[in-house]
Amino acid sequence: MIVGFDTDARVWSERPGPGVVELPALRGRLAFGEAELAAAARDFGNQVHRRPGAVLLPGESADVAAIVRFGRQAGLPVVPRGAGHAADGQAQTRSGIVVDLTALTAVHALGADRIAIDAGARWSAVVNATLRIGLVPPVLPDYLELTVGGLLSAGGLGGASHRHGSAAGQVLELEVVTPDGELTTCSADRRSELFDAVRGTQGEHGIITRATLTLVPAPHSGRRYLLTHRELGPFLADQLRLMADRRFEHAIGQASHTDAEGWTYTIDALAAYDPPGAPDDTALLAGLGHAEVRAQDLGYREFLYRVAPFEAHLRDLGSWQDHPHPRCNVLLPGRHAEAVIADTLADITADDLGLGGSVLLYPFPTSLLRAPAMPATADPVTWLFGLQRTAPPKDPEAVDRMVRANEALRATVRRLGGTDYTYPTAHHRSLHRSAL
């Protein structure tokens, strides 16, 4: 049985003694089994594999704080992990300790305007709890199987960001374990510097263990419109129009490529309603330049789970869980968006995106990013530009080609005043480190 870590020999020890930092008492457990270590050494990206020395399965938030303090004493890095949906090993550590936050999933309070829930809970658990009482968070990710803490640590953008900004901007209170191992609660009125620093900074300033989220009334139904465009310019112009007039509750754009048709561009928009009322198609589609429209009425829950069938299909093919996913999500200043997007897409084919790959494109007012440490641009309008790539299995050359293309795009975006959505820049980090 492991009792601690020998700082002299740099190995886990079964005996106490000089140089051995003993493990703290835990309600959960520190796992050393092959299954736990192997799972923590991979992520959705399937490109980076760093095997930790141990995995914490916390029984409560205090376990996370205790293991952070232990890691500092033993000289071991401690890294939080949520759903493992990172693309580049962000939640991995070689020989250190991975904190598996999916062990913490409890709902602690649910009221008329808020829910307090553990950071390891999935957003699917959030909406399952809140929809029962007719409520929903204002901003949700397209993919609901991300964890609450993971999304808030990234910032959290989605189809409602043109109306409400980021998910991190809709948080009322956070429970956080600081890098020193202190378990504390923060909000806009209590330890506001920590509250501001921890949202949207990838866990650099602390591990979120619980969040209290704003809730708003949820609609009963929605009419989903898929508006297809053949040209990039009108597609982007329509997205800006929808951002400005807020006629839809949800609006995102996607680009897809086939050898037969080249690029087509689709706006996926939702008009929420409660029967017996219904959306006014003529008013909602007025002034838009799409070439084709498809509309479907569906329940709001069904709409929120719209990605689930796509995931299930890719899992059946083995692609979702086993293939490399060298993805790239950047934030573009509005004034440069069309030129960068056009130049980038001109060099991309269907093979450059891979099985199930797509391009995400949607704008939002930069002023709506109310989590101040979250990466952003200085332009009044910011565009999310995401290349959701999948590489063929066992083809390192394809992975390398996609990674190099991603890095070239990131360099261009940084030069033009943009930033990477998933990796704060060194300058961005330095602005907030001193706040703590």
How confident is the model over 35-90, as pLDDT tens digits?
Answer: 999 999 999 999 999 999 999 999 999 999 999 999 999 999 999 999 999 999 99
How far apart CA 374 and CA 202 sit, in angstroms, is 9
pLDDT tens readout for residues 120-166: 999 999 999 999 999 999 999 999 999 999 999 999 999 999 999 99
Q: What is the pLDDT of residues 204-246, one digit of tens each?
A: 999 999 999 999 999 999 999 999 999 999 999 999 999 999 9
Domain extents for the chain? 4-103, 107-217, 221-420
* pLDDT at res. 8: 97
**Torsion angle, alpha carbons of 377, 205, 45, 119, to 10:** -110
pLDDT per residue as tens digits for the range 272-312: 999 999 999 999 999 999 889 999 999 999 999 999 999 99
Closest CA to 130 of 120, 144, 150, 143: 144
Confidence category of residue 431, pLDDT binned at 50, 70, 90: very low
As a whole number of angstroms, the distance between CA 424 and CA 193 comes to 18
Was domain 221-420 assigned CATH 3.90.25.10?
Answer: no
3-state secondary structure of 173: strand
| Domain 107-217 top-level CATH class | alpha beta
Q: Which DSSP symbol is given to 169? A: G
Q: The whole model's pTM is what?
A: 0.94
**CATH architecture of the domain formed by 4-103:** 2-Layer Sandwich (3.30)
